[in-house]
Amino acid sequence: MTEYGIHASHEQIPPGDLLQAVIAAERAGFDAAMCSDHFSPWSARQGQSGFAWSWLGAALQATNLSFGVVNAPGHRYHPAIIAQAIGTLASMYPGRFWAALGSGEYSNEHVVGGAWPRKEVRNARLLESVGVIRDLLAGEEVSRDGLITVDRARLWTRPQAPPPLIGAAVSVETARWCASWADGLVTVNAPEERLREMISAYRDAGGRGPVCLQVHLSWAPTEAEAEEIAHDQWRSNIFTPPVCWDMATAEEFDVVSAEVTVEQVRQVVNISADLERHVAWLRGYADLGFDRIYLHHVGQDLGPFVETFGAKVLPRLR
């Protein structure tokens, strides 16, 4: 049976409010939660970017939900540090934490300086980072001299069982590549045919573990309100790679998205005041074979969304 979770958007909501939202989501019947580790939002209108790793400790303690985080080791973070963070959370909350690993976005990574590598180099660096993290979680002393340098690193605090390391992908090619190293796959909503191809590429290449989907949606009591929320908060997020990978600041995203229309936003956000449409969209994703679906209401006030979807949408999906 498909699990339905909530996506906690650090880029849009202050961390204290976000913590209260996931507490409310558990009470409302959501099964799980996930978030992304960003240093910068995609728009000045979003206006936040709390530190995911410290927030996760609070959220895991405050609820009984499982939590995942999307993270990019190798540039802003050394993978040994990410391994330590993963190991600590998984030790404290066994069976409830997973990490999805990706090659990163310049808007988050440029803050520490250094050249921004080509995509193929970033992928190679990610693969080396995954190896470092896995070996450290297995209790090995790790030294490396490659794209990643490690000198006699060892994790002294480790979980009894390493948590899943899931691959983050937005293309069919990356989904296929993730099958070579990941314990699962996570992606974002797209046309159904594209999502079907991604699942097939991952599974046909031997991909194991759950396939997960983050669904961007906007709901409000009226269609105009739902459109206004989505256009205000998510028009800077409509751009496909490499644009979204390679821009540096929220201000740049705001400049290039200034003329984006509501109809363009509809291509990446499920916008509707009609709960039946949301039920149909979510059922369609489940029918494709997604094991976990994380709902991301793109507004900054999660209270009405959590209450309404908990009472009127989630029961229809189970």
Band of residue 8 on the pLDDT scale cut at 50, 70, 90: very high
pLDDT at 78: 98
Q: Please write the tens of the pLDDT for every residue from 144-168.
A: 999 999 999 999 999 999 999 999 9
pLDDT at 124: 97
Q: Please write the tens of the pLDDT for every residue from 236-279.
A: 999 989 999 999 999 999 999 999 999 999 999 999 999 999 99
Q: How far apart are CA 134 and CA 139, in angstroms?
A: 9
pLDDT at 98: 98
Band of residue 192 on the pLDDT scale cut at 50, 70, 90: very high
pLDDT at 256: 96
pLDDT at 260: 97
pLDDT at 145: 97
pLDDT at 237: 96
Mean pLDDT of 126-147: 98
pLDDT at 68: 98
Q: Please write the tens of the pLDDT for every residue from 47-88.
A: 999 999 999 999 999 999 999 999 999 999 999 999 999 999
Q: How much of the chain exceeds pLDDT 90, in percent?
A: 98
CA 66, chain centre distance (Å)? 14
Mean pLDDT of 116-139: 97
pTM for this model (two decimals): 0.97
Mean pLDDT of 22-33: 98
| pLDDT, averaged across the chain | 97
pLDDT at 204: 98
Q: Please write the tens of the pLDDT for every residue from 102-112.
A: 999 999 999 99
